[in-house]
Structure 1
């Protein structure tokens, strides 16, 4: 009488969508878009259409607002879903913003239609505070009793992210099922790390980085500074393909800290020496956020300070502005964006540019890459996961060998230096995932591994087996 189905995130890291049915009714945990290589099952409107029944679905529970977890919500509504959209309080603020952008890019540019869809979504939102139970169904018929309630706990992935505890009762049997959503790393900036659930009879857990370990906080901050100093030495631009929610804000937080600590230190610059002028000091370095969506979410992050961690609030209380410091420039207008690309490509002025999208599969970063990948003065710094089949994965793979990448149907040679700092990934690494599981007082009776590349899931499966967890499953 209790059933679990997976409608996405079983063959890759995107398209998260899981169904929990108790008796004759159920809920969905996320309804996300497929990206990269995963778009074999979600590349166009026909494939994005919901291909499973929804009449029995009482509610959608959103773990967080990344597009691979919420991008198919408009299609879910079109399929006839009429229930509430349950999410954390910060996610309720951000969800309409991220879906407006997704609708405009992949659905329609009809502003009236977009407004109608967003109005419908806002009317369905049910913000639930962390740690508070919310009843979804309670049914008694023909001698059978079924109930389901959910509780959101902080996941530390992005602002508003949550893992979902589901308390179920079916014919006298109680069971708690936990969906991890995406978990954050232990030492991520701005947000507190997730605490393990007090109980999980079944655990559905992500495995994006289930086969590797991130750099420590201090180590990656030091390496970030080293990479930036080396990259800026020859008078080029550092391009950071940044996800609008999470990574952009964390990087700004770290850059503000570097400038605060080293503001009067000069940046090494061969270009400045050759031109007979002094190099810039850190506090003169311009940091550009060229993404209207990232800028908007940075504003939302600032407005939601009560959800920041203690370290971040201590900086605010000391009079610092981690997400709105003096050296920060935001570009919103498209014409200003094009002028910035042209100016930086020609001038050789040291600059750090954060632009979407994070996997280089669209957005303003593509224009920068087209103009700058072929110039060895420039650098590209990846700080987030690059899904197979995306330009970002190709640049990361072939860039160090001066290969090429296809952007908008054309090949571009990669002469820019390529760097990667895995510690700034939004996802927990292997140690974080194991810590989350090991912290559950009584080991889960079943662990299902989702949201990971096939080989990564297998290695994480093997590790859990070695650690003595018995019933570990990789759903197909």
Structure 2
């Protein structure tokens, strides 16, 4: 075997389960991500399955970001005996225990003693690494590997990993880059991703390798317009959203809308001249009903030094983009049920953000059960709804007329509430972004490995990248494991 070499333990059959091993020599390796296969990619019982590969010689686990399809198999890795460092960015080091604790309670055990013991081990192994600084992770018999984390723009703390591998008497070093998940431009909180300066081998995600995203520049305006229209009916706006990433983006953008509405109200002279202007946004409660989302949002707020310049400027102006005055946080299940009943019975306008993002579980389901049958209310989707999920069924009702039902917890519910989709909230780079990342390095890769995508997305992205390299007179080997 020629080194460095790759083996893949996930992230090749679809868009989940990222887990890649970089072999430095016959006995030494690094593991980049240790994710759980989810949805159609997952075999029955996979969340409880053993790790499935030999962990001997793995010197470090490097985490690109803390979504479960990149970290969800860490319990299995630890159960197999791994006790090496878990290397990640400084924001990820703060977020990772929150995500793993929630997943452990839901999928393995809620016993407090077991949870505490598990978290104590995880936190003992986590090593936070600053962005943009080289860190030596392996050195044995003249073989050395350093890594550097660069911002990936996908999630707070998300990174792509540059691995610089040196062998005795061999110059230059080998540079292997793992993209992790790359973000789309225009994220309101995060700094934009920049292509690597150099890559000999690039392991590249391909989630949206076969499509281009809609324009994101006016998504806040579109969200505001949807909320404006919904408020005319005096109902509740239900926004299903995952706790990590999407919820924080929504809160940030809603705070921006509320701030602008407040300034407009101060400047307006005389009585309002239309129904939209008459709506009092200053009294509109924004309800965040997810204990995990609240914990993650607090962590995001504490990590504001990692936000982009515009977002940090808001903080400097004395604003609290993730903890504004109209934000109401619902923690206990008892309070959750009270809020559901109150909004159902009073019809008071409100915005509710609750998990999960595809309406297949979590607290959003209780809101849907209570309000889907009432046309005053509106369900607003800001994320992808996987085929077969309740969210996809409800979303398909957008603009439709007639009798539609959705199965929620084994019971059919009629969909009379309005539905809307606000595009532009994808957390992943599209085909153009992925191709740009691959082809804009100062030193172009000789080899690209496409992972983390459906077969059609990988094939389309391979063709686009190959054309780009041909246009500049460079050859590249593009493989799909």
Instruction: Report if aligned partners of 1:289, 1:295 keep a CA contact under 8 Å in 2.
Output: yes
Give the aligned partner of residue 317 of structure 1.
316
Q: How much does 1:170 deviate?
A: 4.4
Per-residue Cα deviation, 1:85-130 (whole angstroms, up to 9, x for no partner): 0001111111111111111111101110010000000110111100
CA distance in 2, matches of 1:28, 1:398: 43
Residue aligned with 1:263, SS: helix
2:148 counterpart (148, 151, 159): 151
Relative distance call for 1:310 and 1:458 in structure 2 (3 A) is same
Residue 33 of structure 1 corresponds to which residue in structure 2?
Answer: 36
Shift of 1:399: 5.7
CA displacement 1:241-299 (0-9 Å, x = unmatched): 11212111111111111111123769xxxxxxxxx9x9632222111110111111111
* Residue 102 of structure 1: aligned partner: 103
For 2:243 and 2:434, locate their aligned partners in 1 and report how far apart those are by CA, in whole Å: 24
8 A contact 1:288–1:354 mirrored in 2? yes
Q: Are residues 59 and 118 of structure 1, via their aligned partners in 2, closer, same or farther at CA, if it must alter by over 3 Å?
A: same
Deviation string, structure 1 residues 361-413 (Cα, Å, up to 9, x no partner): 32211222222233332222222333445433443346655644333333334
State the partner residue of 1:210.
209
Gap runs ≥5 in structure 1: 267-275
Mapped to 2, the partners of 1:34 and 1:232 lie a distance apart of: 40
Cα deviation 1:426-472 (Å, max 9, x = unaligned): 22222322332232112211122222233222222222233236445
Distance 2:53 2:127 in 1: 24
Counterpart for residue 475 of structure 1: 480
Unaligned runs of 5+ in 2: 266-274
Aligned to 2:415: 414
SS state at 2:23 partner = strand
RMSD (Å) for aligned C-alpha atoms: 2.2
State the aligned residue count.
460
Aligned partner of 1:462 in structure 2 is: 463
Distance 1:460 1:217 in 2: 21
Q: Is the 8 A contact 1:21 1:27 kept in 2?
A: yes
Residue aligning to 1:164: 161
Partner in structure 1 of residue 68 of structure 2: 67
Deviation digits for residues 331-388 of structure 1 (CA, Å, limit 9, x no counterpart) = 0111111111122223222211111122323221122222223333222222233344
Q: CA deviation at 1:11?
A: 2.1
Q: Separation in 2 of the partners of 1:246 and 1:25?
A: 34
Counterpart for residue 372 of structure 1? 371
CA–CA separation in structure 1 for the residues paired with 2:366 and 2:38 = 20
10-19 vs 365-374, which moves further: 365-374
SS of the residue 2:469 aligns to: coil
Quote the Cα distance in structure 1 between the aligned partners of 2:64 and 2:389: 24
Q: Where do 1:33-432 residues align within 5 Å?
A: 33-39=36-42, 41=43, 43-46=45-48, 48-140=49-141, 145-170=142-167, 172=170, 174-263=173-262, 280-397=279-396, 401=400, 403-432=404-433
Q: Is the 8 A contact 2:344 2:371 kept in 1?
A: yes
- Change in Cα spacing, 1:390 to 1:379, as seen in structure 2 (3 Å) is same
How far 1:53 sits from its partner (Å)? 1.2
Give, in whole Å, the separation in 2 of the partners of 1:6 and 1:413: 44
**Which residue does the alignment assign to 1:13?**
15
